[in-house]
Structure 1
Amino acid sequence: MIGAMERDIEHRGINLRRLAHEVDETRRRMVVGGVFYVLGWLLVCLFTPAISVYPWASLTIAVIFVSLAVARLALRPPVSQDPRVLTHWLDLQWLIIQVSAAVWGAVVLWTLISPVLANARMALLVGAAGFATAIAHTYSMRFWPSLLAVVLIYAPATALMWMPGHDRAVAFSLTVYLAYVITSLIRSHRDFHDRLDFQETLRQQRDAFERMSRTDDLTLLANRRVFVAELERVRAEATNHTRPVSLLVIDLDHFKQINDQHGHAIGDTCLSGFAEQLRLVFAGQGELPARLGGEEFAVLLPGHTEPEAATRAEAFRIGLAAVAVVPEQPTLRIHVSIGVAEFDAKRHLSSDTFLIDADRALYRAKNEGRNRVCQASGNRL
């Protein structure tokens, strides 16, 4: 159940990263696109009598293209990382792209039908091909919305040119080029998502290497290097804020006998099972269980006095004896010796001296017969 939840969380994280990357790419690519539609319509107005013959239509088209260009700049990406908010923003961007394409497709069709706009026909046909190509290469993040935009911008003129009375050679050229544009879109779409997959693979490898550098391979607890660094940080914090901090150093009793009698595979399973018990019991805020090496472990307990830490250690020791940490060996039980020390700013001038105090308490527990908790102060539970 926990594994399924973790996989679900990881899957949602991957989807969110991909969505955020798509938002970033879309914003970057949307910035200048709208200007070219405005310039294209300006070309029509300069080289044809569109304004004098169709003043209101010309003004309406100009307002539409300018408004769409401004909307591209005005709709900034959301700060929120809510997938619904990001998806809504992307939907608005695609609406702008498709409305721009549809209007340009209608303009091209108009120039092919109206004799008044005849001087702009070739320029607008070339513009339609150029805009369709730009969409296929620039907005390939989503295949079907991009394909729709290409069809809206390109198909009306192509369909008209195939009708009787029009230039079939131009129609054939447009159709062949449309096939090229769609092929380019397919390739660009695949390349975009391959790049996202590659980036996600690199991120996962980086995270895996980071985890490996911080955790013990067998038990998956924090390793000694991480533990010492955290011990130093907490010790410095306790020095500055007089907050209690205690430390447990734990050794598995007679662990060599377990290896000798049952084999190293069972011994490794034993260590892993013991580590899992540490994780379950010492899971409070700031608490850090770690493997120092071999069968020696430690637990950092911020906010705990020595008596409080010793009480928890004793409860852990008693509870551990009732747990079968190796499923294959239900009768096998682990016993531990635990040393407990509380940080004292006057005596513990370094993390090493703090750790040494807890170590001494551990060795006293072992010398007194093992399977017990001893405090560095000498107090008893």
Structure 2
Amino acid sequence: MQYISDPSLVSTEYAQYGLAQEIDAYKNRRVTSDLYTRSLIGPLFYMIASGLTIGLADYFQGRVWLMLIPGLAFLLLWWQRYHHVPPTPGADHEEYVRWNRQQWYLIHLGALIWSGIATSTACIELHTSNAVIVTMITTIAFSTAASHSFAMHPQQARLCIIEFVLPPTFIYLFYAVDLRAIGIAICIYFVYLMMNLHGNAKEYRKQIETEVMLIQSRAELAQLSLTDALTGLPNRRSYEATWNHIWRIAARKNDVLGLLIIDLDFFKKVNDQYGHLAGDACLKHFAQILRQQIRRDSDVVARIGGEEFVAILPGVTNELAYSMAENLRHVLAEMPCEIATQKIYLTASIGAGIADWTKDKSPTDTFQRVDKACYQAKEQGRNVVKCA
């Protein structure tokens, strides 16, 4: 059997805390992975665009070697982004924060270098030319890509778009009269990009929220599959996985491991006399008593059958297991289940014992010895604790 982590064996608050941590870790991984993959290709396009700009500019004729300068800069930037891999799964939140901060430095650096090329081209050309057209089109393309690709961080994306658009547009509007119409058109498009970024960020958040809801749904289904619907205790499937796991750990360490098997006496008569709804109420009543009496953080209680329950007691000796079982038996006998004006008294037959590392070769061996003691308790008249 595969050993599983059982969320139903811990407190609700702890389970919710664990799920919240899992969700936070997922969000960190998801956002970081998206930022890494979406920003990786950018420097290569910057390199191509800068090469086209320099190749088409009249003032660079005969100086094609100048293409190497921005080309090498963007190639180095790509290399840095490529090797700046996201934190490994399990990293803490602060490590993700540091990684995102460094990644955005690289992204802004690329945007500023390209913006410098586009602005310099506009300052030198001062009129509509092939080089200006290339820088204008690519600047629009890069800023549009930023509004789509970086929607996970809208504030940083806005800054990135501003870095792309505003410096060359300022030249178009106030320095190069022949390019003013282009500058006005880009200003209008800039407003559209900001609105578009807002929508993209909203859609990205919705997508993450949907994925988080799926994680929560899976956690709830896992919880339900391991929980008895009536009593809220771990069910037999949960018990078996947990018992096997705890038993093997105790066996390796040669630790003391106690076990109680509890069977409510004459429970069929309760159902026959009072009805199944009353019987269900009695099971809930006993489950509550069991939680109150077996309440150490290391203890595990579960419902494994109709009226059969178990308690796993790590570190509990045979004498202490017997004492706990006797106390449980007395409390149950003295605390009737009250339904309207009726009081239904319950008793239980309990087998108590510990794992015997000289005899027990498997978790089943221990269970069978204690279960046999439970049957002996029933044979001796019920409402009895019998040691294995």
Given the two structures, how large is their TM-score scaled by the length of structure 2?
Answer: 0.77
Residue 274 of structure 1 is matched in structure 2 by: 289
Q: How far apart are residue 218 of structure 1 and its match?
A: 2.5
- Please state whether the residue corresponding to 1:297 is helix, strand or coil: strand
Give the letter for the 1:340 counterpart.
A
Larger mean Cα displacement after TM superposition, 165-174 or 311-320 = 311-320
Q: How far apart are residue 153 of structure 1 and its match?
A: 0.2
Structure possessing the higher relative contact order (Cα contacts under 8 Å, 6 or more residues apart): 2
Provide structure 1 residue ranges, at least 5 long, that are not aligned to the other structure: 377-381
Q: How far apart are residue 369 of structure 1 and its match?
A: 4.9
Q: How far apart are residue 22 of structure 1 and its match?
A: 0.8
Residue 20 of structure 2 is matched in structure 1 by: 11
Q: Deviations over 1:6-53 (max 9, x none)?
A: 645543432222011111111222222212212222223333366689
Distance in structure 1 (CA, Å) of the matches to 2:32 and 2:336: 51
Q: How far apart are residue 115 of structure 1 and its match?
A: 2.9
Larger mean Cα displacement after TM superposition, 287-296 or 339-348 = 339-348
Provide the aligned C-alpha RMSD in A: 4.1
Q: Is 1:125 paired with 2:136? A: yes
Q: 1:56 to 1:319 in 2, by over 3 A?
A: farther
Q: Paired residue for 2:32, among 4, 23, 30?
A: 23
Q: How far apart are residue 67 of structure 1 and its match?
A: 3.6
Task: Map 1:36-51 to 2 at 5 A.
Answer: 36-48=45-57
Q: How far apart are residue 59 of structure 1 and its match?
A: 7.3
Q: 1:171 to 1:363 in 2, by over 3 A?
A: same
- Please state whether the residue corresponding to 1:162 is helix, strand or coil: helix
Distance in structure 2 (CA, Å) of the matches to 1:274 and 1:78: 47
Task: Map 1:156-175 to 2 at 5 A.
Answer: 156-163=167-174, 165-175=177-187
Q: 1:247 to 1:7 in 2, by over 3 A?
A: closer
Distance in structure 2 (CA, Å) of the matches to 1:343 and 1:5: 29
Larger mean Cα displacement after TM superposition, 357-366 or 55-64 = 55-64
Distance in structure 2 (CA, Å) of the matches to 1:33 and 1:85: 24
Distance in structure 2 (CA, Å) of the matches to 1:321 and 1:171: 87
Task: Map 1:164-313 to 2 at 5 A.
Answer: 165-231=177-243, 246-253=258-265, 260=274, 263=278, 266-267=281-282, 269-277=284-292, 280-281=295-296, 283-284=297-298, 287-301=299-313, 306-307=318-319, 309-313=321-325
> Does structure 2 retain, via aligned residues, the 8 Å contact 1:50–1:116?
no
Give the letter for the 2:53 counterpart.
V
Larger mean Cα displacement after TM superposition, 78-87 or 308-317 = 308-317
Q: Aligned pairs, how many?
A: 371
Larger mean Cα displacement after TM superposition, 53-62 or 216-225 = 53-62
Q: Deviations over 1:147-206 (max 9, x none)?
A: 111121012333433347234442343234334433432333223222211111112111
Give the letter for the 2:78 counterpart.
A
Q: Is 1:140 paired with 2:151? A: yes
Distance in structure 2 (CA, Å) of the matches to 1:7 and 1:302: 25
Q: Paired residue for 1:358, among 342, 345, 370?
A: 370
Distance in structure 2 (CA, Å) of the matches to 1:75 and 1:220: 47
Q: Paired residue for 1:75, among 75, 84, 107?
A: 84
> Does structure 2 retain, via aligned residues, the 8 Å contact 1:273–1:325?
no
> Does structure 2 retain, via aligned residues, the 8 Å contact 1:49–1:116?
no
> Does structure 1 retain, via aligned residues, the 8 Å contact 2:349–2:385?
yes
Identity of aligned pairs, percent? 25
> Does structure 2 retain, via aligned residues, the 8 Å contact 1:337–1:365?
yes
> Does structure 2 retain, via aligned residues, the 8 Å contact 1:23–1:86?
yes
Distance in structure 2 (CA, Å) of the matches to 1:295 and 1:268: 7
- Please state whether the residue corresponding to 2:304 is helix, strand or coil: strand
Residue 379 of structure 1 is matched in structure 2 by: none
Q: How far apart are residue 124 of structure 1 and its match?
A: 0.6
Distance in structure 2 (CA, Å) of the matches to 1:39 and 1:187: 30
- Please state whether the residue corresponding to 2:295 is helix, strand or coil: helix
- Please state whether the residue corresponding to 1:81 is helix, strand or coil: coil
Q: How far apart are residue 332 of structure 1 and its match?
A: 8.8
> Does structure 1 retain, via aligned residues, the 8 Å contact 2:139–2:164?
yes
> Does structure 2 retain, via aligned residues, the 8 Å contact 1:317–1:335?
yes
- Please state whether the residue corresponding to 2:229 is helix, strand or coil: coil
Q: 1:3 to 1:351 in 2, by over 3 A?
A: closer
